[in-house]
Copies of this chain bind each other. A is one copy, B any other.
Amino acid sequence: MKAVLFEHFREAPSIRNVPDPKPSTDGVVVKVEATGLCRSDWHGWMGHDADIVLPHVPGHELAGTVQAVGRQVTQWRVGDRVTVPFVGGCGHCHECNSGNHQVCEQQFQPGFTAWGSFAEYVAIDYADTNLVRLPEELDFVTAASLGCRFVTSFRAIVDQAKVLPGEWVAVHGCGGVGLSAIMIATAMGANVVAIDLTEEKLAFARELGAVATVNGAEQDVVAAVKEITKGGAHVSVDALGHPSTCFNSIANLRRRGRHVQVGLMLGDHATPQVPMDKVIAHELQIVGSHGMQAFRYKAMMDMLETGKLKPQKL
């Protein structure tokens, strides 16, 4: 098959002919119909991810049809239309058994721990645990786009932040993760304040449902969020991943507010400072969010089906 492959970090990848993948006993091979690209791919290519073994084929945001099935797979057949979360759980560790495949102890990540979807075919391990069936009406391109930013935001907002209707939610950074978070929190009945540095992105945030916006290039972000929310956000998300957005996102909370760290913090940014004095005095909560389990796609898909979420707008 043809695949996009790089042999050295930070050097241009090229299209090569490589052997077709075979399914592991508990895995499948998927014919790739659509694949996406995000900042995690850039991190991988830069050499920031210790899981990658060279030469490497990237690609973790994918949708396609099952083309071959390992002999232990019981739930899937050739021809099934599928996608996968970017973190695949092994299905047998303590985390997987408790329903927390997103922090599995032996994760399968296409495009990181194995060759990914910038290829005609991609092998996916632990298929029974991780494959997600696509509804008829969901096209491959939209499906591929769900697998990373959108599901990450879904888990962050729904399962980690546990946003309640009528709460004020501040979203720091209006890239793919942030815009997804805005759409999802709005669909749950929250009042969203979007923060970014450009008016263009803030305008799009308002289109997706944000009831207020703050331009960090012009305003004191923490003061502005506190004023708009009359005391601070109930929930705040760092959707970018930077020490300053992280700090602001904690600092703009009201008493007992919850910060969710979604944007990755790697390299120099791995250990940012946080306003711990305020965390104590106001009993703030900080929580990380990492991907989403395959079984949680069902709720998201049911919202797509009834038009409550429209990822194709992003």
Q: Which residues of B contact A302 (CB under 8 A)?
A: 166, 168, 191
Q: Which residues of B contact A264 (CB under 8 A)?
A: 277, 280
Question: Contacting chain B: which of A1-9, A27-35, A55-63, A287-295?
Answer: A287-295
Is there contact, CB below 8 Å, between A166 and B299? yes
Instruction: Using known A-B contacts A188-B165, A274-B272, A295-B98, determine if residue A211 contacts B306 with beta carbons closer than 8 Å.
Output: yes
Is there contact, CB below 8 Å, between A103 and B283? yes
Instruction: Using known A-B contacts A261-B280, A287-B283, determine if residue A299 contacts B164 with beta carbons closer than 8 Å.
Output: yes
Task: Tell me, yes or no, whether A285 is within 8 Å of chain B by CB.
Answer: yes
Is there contact, CB below 8 Å, between B191 and A189? no
Q: Which residues of B contact A189 (CB under 8 A)?
A: 187-189, 303, 308-309
CA distance A91 to B126 in the complex (A): 12
CA distance A269 to B279 in the complex (A): 13
List A residues 152-176 near B (Cβ within 8 Å). 158, 160, 164-168
Chain A contacts to B: CB under 8 angstroms: 25-26, 72, 74-75, 91-92, 94-95, 97-103, 105, 128-129, 158, 160, 164-168, 184, 187-189, 191, 211, 246-247, 255-256, 261-262, 264-266, 269-290, 293-295, 298-303, 306, 308-309
